Structure 1
Amino acid sequence: MERVLTAKGAATRQRIVEGAALLVRDRGVANVGLDDICASTATSKSQLFHYFPDGKADLMLAVVRYEAEQVITDQLPQLADLTTWRKWQAWRRRVIQIYDAQRAACPLRALTTQLGTADPATREVVDGLTDTWAAYLAAGVQALKDAGEIDPRIDVQKTANSILAAVTGGATLLQSTNRLSYLEDALTEALDNMRRPRNQYVAGGG
């Protein structure tokens, strides 16, 4: 059973998690020790173990959950309202802005590279993030389909998955090459592909 923290306790715990997340993004989990986290967050070892009884493993799982939340939160409110083509374009601009600003200091990179996904608990969080992200995108594709803006024969889930793959793949290449064009081109192409079936459908008269 999780302990119920006071407002002050919750704020302290959150400060530790956020401080640890920044260190992991910068150095990688293997190069971040408890002493580093304590120094960075002005926290004593006794405080740290009070909130994270299992030490680093416990804290790193909290960091994983925090970073997964950040990936989605950074895209809101645009991600939750993909109901028109104009709003899809606003979301595209937001995504590019986010990853251009973050570059290597990216929550997604921290999850997939720095923290790794070999641990079952981490994998569960990353899977949950992927499912949540894809669900938002699928809702947006369905909204365009219902509005008649894209071909009614389009596969909503496959389209959402391809857009998600464009973002994550483009972001990964951005982080490894420092070239934003990979993300810009991949996401633009994925969104354009979503609309192409309608043009062919109308032109063919079928």
Structure 2
Amino acid sequence: MVLTSRGAATRRRIVTGAAALFRERGVAQVSLDDIRAATATSKSQLFHYFPGGRSELLLAVAEHEAEQVLADQQPLLGDLTDWRKWQAWRERIIKIYDEQRAGCPLSALTAHLSQADPAAAQKIVIRMNERWQAHLATGVRALSDSGEIDPATDPDQTAATIMTAIVGGATLLQATDSMTYLELALTQALNSLRR
């Protein structure tokens, strides 16, 4: 569907409004009527932009949340060229998750998987993870090239380990409301990078 700038803005308003409601209340607790009310959208507008109904909207929100996970880390994620910048990025990650707690886009994205088309939602998560891992691997290569870490360090494997620390820590944050797991896992993953 080709949208005018006004149409694109309306669609974006619906998606961001739905995302906020899903984070606040949980996916299962939000109806299309709730989304319409929160975004000042008519039923005809909602189905114009999302003719597939709730499942299509959920996929659009999942795309939005995936983008948000990466956007929240920028510009630091795109410039992991020395150890000082890695430490600043680590602090940014801790701050993001500490502020977001139950409203984190990563957790919201995971919640959408069971409610939307699973195959399509999985592709969204895979694309996000690939992009995230690519940024981290580029940063690991920069550290290796500058001699700050062992040149034999595998960038892709290391990036996957760091991502796993974040995702695991974020999952435990959701379950326990404790930042300890995320802080320890991410610190350990980065400390092992420098050994």
Partner of 1:90: 88
1:177 aligned onto 2:176: yes
Say which SS state the counterpart of residue 54 (structure 1) adopts.
Answer: coil
The one-letter amino acid paired with 1:165 is T
Partner residue, 1:141: 140
Distance apart, 1:16 and its partner CA: 0.3
**Whole-angstrom CA distance in 1 between matches of 2:56 and 2:152:** 47
Is residue 62–residue 121 contact of structure 2 (8 Å, CA) maintained in 1? yes
Distance in 1, matches of 2:152 and 2:10, equals: 51
Report the Cα distance in structure 2 between the residues aligned to 1:116 and 1:56, rounded to whole angstroms: 13
Once the two structures are TM-superposed, the CA of residue 28 in structure 1 deviates from its matched residue by 2.0
| RMSD of aligned alpha carbons | 1.0
Task: After TM superposition, give the deviation of residue 116 of structure 1 in Å.
Answer: 2.0
Return the alpha-carbon distance in structure 1 between the equivalents of residues 11 and 161 of structure 2.
Answer: 37
2:63 alignment partner AA: R
Residue 30 of structure 1 and its aligned partner are, at CA, apart by 1.8
Equivalence for 1:21:
19
Structure 1 residue aligned with 2:112: 115
TM-score (norm 2): 0.96
Q: Which string of whole-angstrom CA distances, capped at 9 and with x for unpartnered residues, describes residues 89-123 of structure 1?
A: 000000000000000101100111x2125710000
Residue pair 2:59, 2:112 contacting (<8 A) in 1 also:
no
**CA positional deviation for 1:143:** 0.4
Point out where structure 1 has 5 or more consecutive residues left out of the alignment. Answer: 197-206
Does the CA contact (< 8 Å) of 2:173 and 2:179 recur in 1? yes
Mean Cα deviation higher: 133-142 or 166-175: 166-175
> What's the offset of the Cα at 1:154?
1.3
- 8 Å contact from structure 2 (residues 168, 182) kept in 1: yes
TM-score normalized by the length of structure 1: 0.91
- 1:194 aligned to 2:193? yes
Between the aligned partners of 2:8 and 2:54, the Cα distance in structure 1 is 18
- Structure 2 gap ranges (5+): none
User: Is residue 28–residue 115 contact of structure 1 (8 Å, CA) maintained in 2?
Assistant: no
Shift of 1:152: 1.2
Structure 1 stretches of 4+ with a deviation exceeding 2 A read none
- The aligned length equals 193
CA distance in 2, matches of 1:144, 1:69: 26
- 1: CA distance, partners of 2:180 / 2:33: 39
Determine what percentage of the aligned residue pairs are the same residue: 61
Give the aligned residue type for 1:106.
C
Q: Which SS does the other structure have where 2:36 is aligned? A: helix
